[in-house]
Amino acid sequence: MLGSIFAGIADGFLLFLIASGLTLIFGVMRILNFSHGGYFMLGAYFAYQVVTSAGFSPLPLGFFIVAVLIGSVGVGAVGIATERLLFRRIYELSDIASLLGTFGLLLLIEGIAEVIWGINPMSVPFPTLVDKSVKVVGVRVATYSIVLIGVGILVGIGLWYLLRRTAFGERARAVAEDRYMCELVGMNTAAVSTAVFAIGTMLAGLGGALATPLVALTPDVATAFIIEAFAVVIVGGLGSISGSLIAALVFGVVDSLAITYVPSLSGVSFFILMFVVLLVRPQGLVKNARAFA
């Protein structure tokens, strides 16, 4: 039981890293960004490229951290470019148009990755110091899971601080509340949007880079994670960071327990939970999502 709960929490925090960027972008831009999974996948491939280019065996933890940072920042740069070239033109279009546009972008990113890296599964080795397991209350726990939990907590605190305690956070919340009014008072909403998009995509890149030791890296890894991330964002309350955190942890733990104790529900427990939550609370777990609650 304890092992399953711990595994679920670690999975939940990885999911939170992806979902937080997604919900952040939705909060400010009102766009359901289907291409978010593509940024996750790019972060993973960037980190893979850095690690394999160096050719370390075993992989030092310090260098892995560098690869993760490069992956995350690199994806942020790609995010800025795509926001300026494509997303700026989507903001005022209908939801259907933006969904189709971002889905098209996801397919484009997947196609490019297929051309560059191929479709065969690749992997990044676990870095030293976090490649083993430890016993926690008699349960075998992967040290890398503890790293994921730690990073997830740090990202959660960092986002809370950024949005609640800084001038940038105030501006971002203001744009999320009323973009038109912000423009009337002379705020550069385009710059705020670009910055928020960069942060959101960096979080996706961070999630992807951190996931590399755990996943088989293929271009379609984007699709697998984005579906779960969307479920988390919807259940958490569109635009809510804290809602995404709660939803990701609940999803992770429930899915883990379901697989362990009711194996026949594996793969569907996630969606059953989403269905139940939306039935009871169609607005999501957290209210007032627009203000990044």
Note the residues at the interface with another protein (CB under 8 A). 3-4, 7-8, 10-11, 57-58, 85-86, 89-90, 92-93, 97, 100-101, 104-108, 110-111, 114-123, 125-126, 131-133, 140, 142-145, 213-216, 218, 220-221, 224-225, 227-228, 252, 255-260, 263, 266-267
* Closer Cβ to another protein, 40 or 292, answer by number: 40
* Tokens encoding 114: 């297929």
* Closer Cβ to another protein, 84 or 164, answer by number: 84
Contact status, residue 266 vs residue 256, Cβ threshold 8 Å: no
- The one-letter amino acid code at 98 reads S
CB of 236 to another protein, least distance (A): 18
Candidates 77, 243, 43; CA nearest to 160 is 243
DSSP codes, 14-63? HHHHHHHHHHHHHHHH----TTHHHHHHHHHHHHHHHHHHHT-SS--HHH
Left (φ > 0), alpha (ψ -120 to 50) or beta: where does 235 sit?
A: alpha
Residue for token pair 């590399």? 212
CB of 12 to another protein, least distance (A): 9
CB of 141 to another protein, least distance (A): 8
* Closer Cβ to another protein, 14 or 155, answer by number: 14
Candidates 20, 286, 18; CA nearest to 158 is 20
Sign of the CA dihedral 112, 116, 118, 119? negative
CB of 30 to another protein, least distance (A): 15
* Tokens encoding 66: 């560098």
CB of 291 to another protein, least distance (A): 28
* Closer Cβ to another protein, 90 or 196, answer by number: 90
CB of 278 to another protein, least distance (A): 21
Q: Go through the chain and tell me how many residues it has.
A: 293
d(CA 254, CA 269): 7
* Closer Cβ to another protein, 196 or 228, answer by number: 228
* Closer Cβ to another protein, 217 or 293, answer by number: 217
